[in-house]
């Protein structure tokens, strides 16, 4: 499975600062977020509009992240400079290497003079339901299977499926509970390529 979300059409985007589990463990591209419950003041930049934490799919969802700050791993391509890709590891299990970040520290370069590290935690959040995207990071098993293997089933996606957010902050077509609200996006296309299975996700009404 790929670990990217590609923007196919611009949506509304705003700068935010990640907090809590996002800072502790990083995130996959396409992770949904909500404003941090205590509404803290951003620590690192007066330009951000707020501080965000990972969404569990319930209640308010303010948007999703498709970029992250750079880590210590070399780039595979230019687009990875602002991504959270660390080498296309199996199942897209890549997270940002927050342990390497110091917002007050210097820039770091490799022996080819390519930027290796940038001390910034300001990231872009897309506000739903704007734009449309090719999405590689989504749930492939239902909640029961993720919780207790052998008790659930794989998820199958089809055009017009309404998209919700899972307890892990990833897109899913399973409404995991009554408090899990529709994101305003639906599946337009299900396909695959050399990076893996993907969904083209667009805004809809209904």
Q: What is the pLDDT of residues 12-57, one digit of tens each?
A: 888 888 887 777 667 778 899 999 876 666 665 667 788 889 999 9
Task: Please say whether the beta carbons of 81 and 52 come within 8 A.
Answer: no
Q: Are 190 and 159 in contact (CB under 8 A)?
A: yes
Q: Select from 29, 82, 35 the least CA-distant residue to 54.
A: 35
CA distance 70 to 73: 8
In this structure, are strands 51-54 and 12-18 parallel, antiparallel, or unpaired? parallel
Taking residues 160-167, what's their average pLDDT? 97
CA 78 to chain centre: 19
What pLDDT, on a 0 to 100 scale, did the predictor assign at position 3?
A: 66
Rounded to the nearest integer, the mean pLDDT of the chain is: 76
The answer to whether residues 95 and 83 touch, using CB atoms and an 8 Å cutoff, is no
pLDDT for res 175: 96
In sign, the C-alpha dihedral spanning 23, 24, 28, 32 is: negative
Mean pLDDT computed over 168-192: 95
Please check the confidence at residue 1 and state whether its pLDDT lies above 60. no
Rounded Cα distance between 113 and 115, Å, is 6
| pLDDT at residue 179 in the model | 93
- Is a pLDDT exceeding 50 seen at residue 93? no
Range 116-127 average pLDDT? 68
Considering just the CA atoms, what is the radius of gyration of the chain in Å? 17
- The CA-CA-CA angle for residues 180, 181, 182, to 5°, reads 125
């Amino acid at each position: 499975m790929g670990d990217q979300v590609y923007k196919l059409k611009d949506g509304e985007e705003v700068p935010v600062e990640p907090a809590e589990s996002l800072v502790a463990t990083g995130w996959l591209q396409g992770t949904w977020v909500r404003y941090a419950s205590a509404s803290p003041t951003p620590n690192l930049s007066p330009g951000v509009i707020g501080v965000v934490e990972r969404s569990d799919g319930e209640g308010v969802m303010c948007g999703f992240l498709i970029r992250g700050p750079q880590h210590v791993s070399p780039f595979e391509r230019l687009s990875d400079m602002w991504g959270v890709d660390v080498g296309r590891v199996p199942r897209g299990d890549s997270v940002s290497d927050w342990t390497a970040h110091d917002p007050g520290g210097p820039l770091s370069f490799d022996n080819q003079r390519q930027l290796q590290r940038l001390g910034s935690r300001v990231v872009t959040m897309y506000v739903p339901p704007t734009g449309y995207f090719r999405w590689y990071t989504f749930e492939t098993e239902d909640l029961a299977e993720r919780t207790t293997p052998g008790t659930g089933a794989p998820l199958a996606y089809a055009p017009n499926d309404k998209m919700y957010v899972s307890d892990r902050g990833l897109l899913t077509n399973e409404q995991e509970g009554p408090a899990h609200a529709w994101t305003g996006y639906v599946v337009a296309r299900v396909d695959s390529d050399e990076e893996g299975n993907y969904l083209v996700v667009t805004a809809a009404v209904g």
